[in-house]
């Protein structure tokens, strides 16, 4: 009878799972029909200017009335080319003449003349005479002339494109680009990618249902396969360059990949050697998500690269805020792709995938270590913003993993007992062997804590050092055990050792970041992008009340954005916004999973106070770093702060929210975890609709 009930229960779960998948399939179809299909017939945009960062300016006037840019066209069915500009002192007789021609055959594809009366700031656009002509792979010449300029000045937005620009004003070494965007083709070819995405999301949902509902696994035990599958999905939904500052992190990792392969540095400042195909792809991917990102993915992911010779490419150093260690997985992935002769996109994606694997393994170990909150921690690690950062080339991958591991180790050692010691002894192990294992484990954890303390001290100016307060947990455990066994108090020797370690870490921080600290201490040494001064310590010494005012305005104006960012509501370069309806669901799932029976934090008031101080201190230092390094004195709130910066304090906040009013059974925990996974699916679909 029991077997019949068991099989009947499994059958019901399978039927319910199929109904859920059928429902999700319907949602995918509705999303396509209602939000995507009508937009696919429009031309795709390849953004060539820098977004979210400063561009340069190329000024045309009577003294410099002409520019010529020769470049490689890497898009099919070109429709139009646009240049962004600002006009000043426009003369009525001035005329801007634009021409797009074949650099080899001299055939003219488009020409345009804009008279002075129409030369207001905006865009200069060249429409091809033969729309949708396939010019992919051709070398084109863009010519801009300012005729009868008089007092007219045109300031064109420019940047450097080392991969696609052949020459600028006849100089092959000049890689200046003045094209702001290109329109080409249409999005109908992306339908197959959307279909593949829907299948991948259904597989992810089916995997979650099988593990959590049918197999009755808990979210912590099912974390690894779920995180890997969801991470791979995010790897291709938030494509290369789709994560904040990723282009510059990639260039840093690529430089170390060169050193690993025996390729030295260049003689040209701010450049590295890069495969030609990689340099071209880097130029063609904007620092955001757009239809062109997915089109490049569709066309080039599995293509064998045609041109792998090393050329100069742009390089921005990003490893001054974190040790090189954080780039190791990405470096190995990129190097593997280059050795295997993979395409540019697949090579860069391989660097992201290597980082994802290391991240999942480290965070899985943190889940195993942490004595409570395993369900909540697993849920936080599966939030959209967590997976976006985990499957990127950013240094945030290992920074986040190490921070979570440090928190887990502090809680582990803070609640450690000799239970495992007794368990091994009862299973037949010798007393000496069990004791040796227990001491060895504690010694290993102590070494790991010291290394992680050093890592935290030298990362991002030490803004995460308030997490050191969590070390009081293991310290209190040691003191309590010694009191129970009537042992002597800690000797002055060990107190001195602890003080020396903390002093050494402080010295390391100041030595590594002293140039930055000295700059922050003096007003007028740093200038924001708008030309105004940046806040300094000296400024707040003279205006202490303004310091409190700026913090208050920051929380009032942007507090909701920080919470939204922590929940994964602002993806990519913060321009993909997930609806609050989903975010409320994410928050409810995470909070409920923090109250699963047998897995809830039940610390006393003293420990909760430490959690609060650690979280508060971390928030204050993160805001302070952006205040003194990024915020202009013309602003009343701190600039540049993102919710993802507060990722490490998630466990602390959840433990602070734990209470006895909420009680979740383990079976209910599986259902809640499944809801979280389905919300992940909906968040991915919402993100895609905002790109296509």
Both tokens assigned to 531 = 């030309």
pLDDT band at 414 (very low <50, low <70, confident <90, very high): confident
Helix (H) and strand (E) counts for the chain? 21, 16
Residue located via tokens 């002293």: 514
pLDDT (0 to 100) of residue 30: 95
Residue 439 above 90 pLDDT?
A: no
pLDDT (0 to 100) of residue 10: 86
pLDDT (0 to 100) of residue 44: 94
Buried b (16+ CB within 10 A) or exposed e, 312-332: bbbbeebbebbbeebbbbbbb
- Comparing 90-99, 173-182, 401-410, which segment has the lowest mean pLDDT? 90-99
Mean pLDDT of 487-510: 64
- Rounded Cα–Cα distance for residues 390 and 397 (Å): 5
Which of 298, 215, 408 has the alpha carbon at shortest distance from 44? 298
Mean pLDDT of 401-405: 96
pTM for this entry: 0.91
159: helix, strand or coil: strand
- Rounded Cα–Cα distance for residues 619 and 559 (Å): 12
Residue 212 above 70 pLDDT?
A: yes
Mention every residue, 6+ apart, whose C-beta is less than 8 A from residue 516: 461, 629
Residue 109 has a CB neighbour count (10 Å cut-off) of: 21
pLDDT (0 to 100) of residue 523: 46
pLDDT (0 to 100) of residue 543: 84
The answer to whether the CB of 353 falls within 8 A of the CB of 235 is yes
The answer to whether the CB of 558 falls within 8 A of the CB of 641 is yes
pLDDT (0 to 100) of residue 424: 47
pLDDT (0 to 100) of residue 537: 80
pLDDT (0 to 100) of residue 432: 66
The answer to whether the CB of 40 falls within 8 A of the CB of 188 is yes
pLDDT (0 to 100) of residue 4: 58
Provide the percentage of residues in the chain whose pLDDT is more than 90. 69
pLDDT (0 to 100) of residue 423: 45
Average pLDDT along the chain: 88
pLDDT (0 to 100) of residue 476: 83
pLDDT (0 to 100) of residue 667: 87
- Rounded Cα–Cα distance for residues 406 and 416 (Å): 15
Mention every residue, 6+ apart, whose C-beta is less than 8 A from residue 675: 585, 589
Where is mean pLDDT largest: 312-326, 374-388, 634-648, 649-663? 374-388
pLDDT (0 to 100) of residue 528: 55
Tell which wins on pLDDT, 437 or 114.
114
Residue 608 above 50 pLDDT?
A: yes
Provide the percentage of residues in the chain whose pLDDT is more than 70. 88
The answer to whether the CB of 452 falls within 8 A of the CB of 441 is no
Tell which wins on pLDDT, 526 or 123.
123
Mean pLDDT of 323-345: 95
Summarised one tens digit per residue, pLDDT across range 564-602 is: 999 999 999 989 999 999 999 999 999 999 999 999 998
Mean pLDDT of 531-538: 77
Residue 421 above 50 pLDDT?
A: no
Tell which wins on pLDDT, 440 or 359.
359
């Amino acid at each position: 009878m029991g077997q019949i009930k068991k099989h009947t229960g499994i059958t019901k779960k399978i039927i319910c799972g199929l109904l859920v998948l059928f429902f999700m399939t319907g949602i995918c179809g509705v999303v396509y029909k209602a939000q995507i299909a009508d937009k696919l017939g429009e031309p795709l945009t390849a953004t060539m200017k820098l977004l979210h960062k400063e561009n340069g300016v190329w000024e045309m006037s009577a003294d410099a009335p002409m520019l010529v840019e020769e470049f490689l066209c890497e898009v099919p069915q070109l429709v139009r080319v646009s240049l962004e500009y600002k006009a000043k002192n426009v003369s009525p007789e001035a005329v801007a003449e634009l021409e797009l021609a074949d650099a080899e055959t001299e055939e003219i594809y488009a020409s345009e003349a804009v008279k002075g009366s129409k030369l207001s700031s905006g865009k200069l656009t060249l429409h091809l005479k033969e729309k949708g002509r396939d010019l992919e792979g051709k070398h084109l010449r863009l010519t801009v002339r300012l005729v009868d300029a008089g007092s007219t000045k045109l300031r064109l937005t420019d940047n450097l494109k080392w991969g696609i620009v052949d020459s600028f004003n006849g100089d092959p070494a000049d890689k200046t680009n003045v094209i702001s965007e290109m329109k080409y083709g249409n999005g109908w070819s992306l339908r197959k990618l959307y279909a593949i995405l829907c299948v991948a999301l259904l597989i992810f949902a089916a995997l979650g249902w099988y593990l959590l509902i049918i197999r009755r696994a808990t979210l912590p035990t099912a974390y690894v396969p779920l995180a890997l599958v969801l991470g791979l999905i995010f790897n291709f939904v938030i494509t290369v360059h789709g994560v904040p500052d990723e282009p510059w992190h990639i260039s840093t990792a690529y430089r170390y990949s060169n050193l690993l392969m025996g390729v030295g540095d260049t003689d040209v400042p701010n450049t590295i050697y890069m495969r030609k195909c990689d340099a071209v792809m880097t130029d063609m991917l904007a620092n955001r998500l757009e239809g062109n990102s997915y089109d490049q993915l569709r066309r080039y992911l599995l293509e064998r690269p045609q041109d792998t010779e090393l050329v100069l490419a742009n390089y921005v150093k990003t490893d001054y805020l974190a040790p090189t260690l954080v780039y190791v997985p990405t470096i190995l992935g990129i190097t593997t792709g280059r050795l295997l002769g993979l395409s540019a996109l697949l090579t860069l994606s391989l660097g992201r995938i290597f980082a994802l694997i290391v991240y999942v393994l480290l965070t899985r170990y943190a889940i195993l270590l942490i004595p409570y909150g395993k369900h909540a921690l697993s849920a936080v690690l599966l939030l959209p913003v967590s997976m976006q950062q985990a499957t990127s080339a950013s240094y945030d991958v290992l920074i986040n993993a190490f921070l979570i591991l440090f928190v887990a180790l502090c809680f582990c050692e803070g609640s450690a007992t000799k239970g495992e010691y007794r368990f091994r002894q009862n299973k037949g192990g010798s007393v000496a062997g069990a004791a040796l294992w227990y001491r060895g484990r504690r010694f290993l954890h102590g070494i790991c804590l010291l290394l992680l303390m050093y890592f935290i001290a030298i990362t991002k100016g030490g803004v995460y050092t308030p997490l050191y307060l969590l070390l009081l947990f293991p310290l209190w455990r040691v003191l309590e055990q010694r009191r129970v066994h009537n042992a002597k108090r800690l000797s002055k020797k060990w107190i001195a050792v602890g003080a020396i370690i903390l002093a050494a870490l402080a010295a390391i921080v100041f030595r590594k970041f002293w140039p930055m600290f000295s700059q922050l201490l003096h007003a007028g040494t740093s200038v924001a992008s708008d030309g105004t001064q940046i806040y300094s310590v000296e400024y707040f010494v003279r205006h202490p009340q303004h310091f409190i005012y700026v913090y208050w305005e920051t929380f009032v104006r942007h507090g909701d954005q920080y919470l939204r960012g922590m929940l994964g509501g602002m993806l990519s370069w913060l321009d993909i916004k997930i609806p609050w309806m989903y975010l409320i669901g994410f928050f409810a799932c995470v909070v409920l999973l923090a109250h699963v029976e047998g897995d809830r934090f039940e610390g006393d008031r003293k420990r909760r106070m430490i959690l609060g101080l650690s979280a508060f201190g971390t928030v204050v230092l993160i805001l302070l770093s952006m205040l003194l390094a990024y915020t202009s004195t013309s602003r009343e709130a701190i600039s540049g702060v993102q919710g993802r910066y507060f990722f490490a304090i998630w466990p602390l906040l959840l433990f602070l929210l734990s209470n006895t009013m909420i009680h979740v059974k383990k079976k209910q925990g599986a259902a809640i975890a499944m809801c979280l996974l389905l919300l992940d699916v909906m968040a991915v679909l919402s993100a895609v609709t905002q790109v296509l």
